[in-house]
Amino acid sequence: MATIAQTAPCRAVTPEEVAHYETHGWVQLKRFISPEMIATMLTKAKELMGEDGDSNPPYGIDQPYFNAFAASGYNDARVKPVFDGIGQAAKALMNRKADHGVRLFNDFFAPKLPAAKKTRNQGNGPTSFHQDYITFAVDRTGGMTFWIPLEAYGPEAGTMSFLNGSHKLGVLGNYTSYDGKDIREVWPELNDCEESPQIDYELGDITVHTHLTVHGAGANHLDRPRWAYLVLPQPADARWNGAPPEAFDPKAHGMEPYGKFPDAAFPIIG
């Protein structure tokens, strides 16, 4: 379990937070990141995507949930210090008996654009309930998403909601295979999982959910973007399973099925 220590600009997670994560498949970490670092992240996001969160070229993720764009925060000296804290928190939440380490898999900005406005890019609709795992083409579980809002937000902004304990049901398939149905129609077992309220986030609060946890979000009813930064750690010993991935290009990294992820492109952060 993690000790309560400071890893600037992040705090450590507590044993109670680890227990909540293991039981429910997600946890809210209050005041996890310093407001100064959050402000730095938002500055970088607007540099890349404009004040409206909609001035970037298409990223290749074409869906209504949010307008995604690569952040590459690990390569930005302003943002890089946060990865030490995220890596240590991810290791504590994985809570493995053998320490295999934590790898940075992906990070991107994900502003949910205002629902009432016509937008250049897609990303101004609600987020249907879904599970992330199948899209990453990795051979083992343990991965998670650090969902970092870059301002204080409540449900009117389209914040996150989770199906408690849904991670215990295993892999539930790709949301594109549901033929337009809600995941709870395809998997009625999920109706036994309590739905959390949409989260209220103060500045510096984040949520972390496993890649097996079913989650969704409402539409953004503000007149401005709901800015979020998503950081995705994986267990450092995870391998590409050979399936066509959505999150990376194996050819660009010279990867073979069940080979290791290269440290240069997927650095060890914990």
Helix (H) or strand (E) holding 35, with range, is: helix 35-49
The pLDDT value given to residue 247: 85
Q: Is the pLDDT of residue 1 over 50?
A: no
CATH number belonging to domain 6-245? 2.60.120.620
Give bridge partners of residue 28 from the DSSP assignment.
207
For residue 25 the two structure tokens come to 């498949």
Q: What confidence tens digit (pLDDT) does each residue in 232-261 have?
A: 999 999 999 999 988 899 999 999 999 999
Q: What is the mean pLDDT of residues 161-190?
A: 95
pTM assigned to the model: 0.95
Q: What confidence tens digit (pLDDT) does each residue in 182-211 have?
A: 999 999 999 999 999 999 999 999 999 999
Report CA-CA distances (Å) from 193 to 47, 158, 183, 185.
Answer: 40, 21, 12, 13
Mean pLDDT of the chain: 95
Torsion 55-61-66-71 (CA) sign: negative
The answer to whether 238 touches 140, Cβ cutoff 8 Å, is: yes
Q: What confidence tens digit (pLDDT) does each residue in 102-144 have?
A: 999 999 999 999 999 999 999 999 999 999 999 999 999 999 9
Query: Alpha-carbon distance 19 to 41, whole Å?
Result: 29
The pLDDT value given to residue 255: 95
Q: What confidence tens digit (pLDDT) does each residue in 217-227 have?
A: 999 999 999 99
Burial zone of 22 (CB within 10 Å; 0-12 exposed, 13-18 middle, 19+ buried): middle
How do beta strands 160-162 and 10-11 pair?
A: unpaired
The pLDDT value given to residue 8: 81
User: Which amino acid is it at 192?
Assistant: D
Q: What is the mean pLDDT of residues 39-65?
A: 93
Cis peptide, bond prior to residue 9, ω within 30 of zero: yes
Give domain limits for the chain.
6-245
The pLDDT value given to residue 61: 74
The pLDDT value given to residue 7: 57
